[in-house]
Amino acid sequence: MLEVSFNSPQCGWMSIGFDDGVTVFRTTTAYAPHASALPELMQILTELSQPSEGPRERLLKWNRDPEEFDFRFVREGDKMLLQIYQYPTDDRSFAERELVFTHLDESQNIIKAFAATFDQLYADRETDEFEFNWRQPFPHAEYEEFRKRIS
């Protein structure tokens, strides 16, 4: 079972982790230059939570500065593949990228794993001073749409 953790942001950085019982990947991410990464992630998962004809693939760019990441989601039928690639610099050279995490599961299990960490971020947003520490507002609209669609 996949566990996803996004810890409370601090000074524009957020610690994130992925653990599927076999592989563990932990890193930090920055709020910039991919300032819309968190709301985009919610939008991608909202879209991929809905059934469709044929396979769908979505890519999310995020960074740690100077390292960059691609979060690749591929949904086909009831299955979803999550892959995280790391680039050593912001030039995103495919020759230098490294696959640092991969997980294939039922799409609902992956969506639920992200939902749990989004719910925690939402619940703690005032206590953790999310907006001040992440240096941008919590993505309320995207979170509400995500929760509505997966219910």
What are the residues whose beta carbons fall under 8 Å from the beta carbon of 59, sequence distance 6 or more?
Answer: 70, 71, 72, 73
Which residue range is the domain that position 141 belongs to? 3-150
Task: Pull the structure tokens for residue 129.
Answer: 């001073």
Domain count within the chain: 1
pTM: 0.95
95-101: long-range contacts, CB 8 A cutoff, minimum separation 24: 97/70, 100/25, 101/18, 101/23, 101/25
- Reported as a single tens digit per residue, the pLDDT across 5-51 is 999 999 999 999 999 999 999 999 999 989 999 999 999 999 999 98
- Reported as a single tens digit per residue, the pLDDT across 64-85 is 888 999 999 999 999 999 999 9
